[in-house]
């Protein structure tokens, strides 16, 4: 479903391109990320929806048979055991469209990424002093 030629300027525009069933899944994912990362900025990066807080936290995208969730390699590594039931690779998880999203797991991964980004930002600030 993802199109390299298409150009979106907001997550709303991106989600609107999909059938209603997929829109509901994407909105559910988006809402979970928003609650788990208060203050994170929504953006489009690499033509995918993304959330940023002191750097990119998470990317996601809709594909033909799955929702791609991209919490970086540290995010997949930290939850490797729980994510082992899903297809994926370093930094990527494929959630099948026909199954409910594991929203609790997604929330915990997002919170992990928030803590990671805030810690990195704090370390950079200390180095500058």
30, 107 Cβ separation under 8 angstroms: no
105-114 per-residue burial string, b: 16 or more CB within 10 A, e: under 16: bbebbbebbb
Domains plus CATH for the chain? Answer: 11-128 (3.90.1150.200)
pLDDT tens, position by position, 37-82: 999 999 999 999 999 999 999 999 999 999 999 999 999 999 999 9
Q: How many CA atoms lie within 13 A of 117 on its CB side?
A: 20
Alpha-carbon span 50 to 43, nearest angstrom: 5
* Residue 111's pLDDT band (cuts 50, 70, 90): very high
Q: What is the pTM of this model?
A: 0.91
């Amino acid at each position: 479903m993802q199109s390299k030629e298409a150009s979106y300027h907001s997550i709303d525009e991106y989600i609107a391109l999909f059938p209603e069933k997929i829109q509901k899944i994407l909105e559910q994912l988006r809402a979970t990320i928003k609650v788990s990362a208060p203050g994170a900025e929504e953006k489009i990066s690499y033509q995918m929806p993304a959330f940023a807080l002191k750097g990119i936290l998470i990317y996601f995208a809709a594909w033909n048979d799955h929702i791609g969730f991209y919490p970086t390699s540290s995010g997949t590594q930290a939850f490797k055991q729980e994510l082992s039931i899903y297809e994926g690779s370093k930094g990527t998880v494929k959630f099948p469209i026909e199954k409910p999203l594991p929203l609790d797991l997604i929330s915990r991964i997002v919170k992990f990424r928030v803590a990671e980004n805030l810690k990195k930002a704090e370390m950079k600030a200390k180095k500058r002093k």
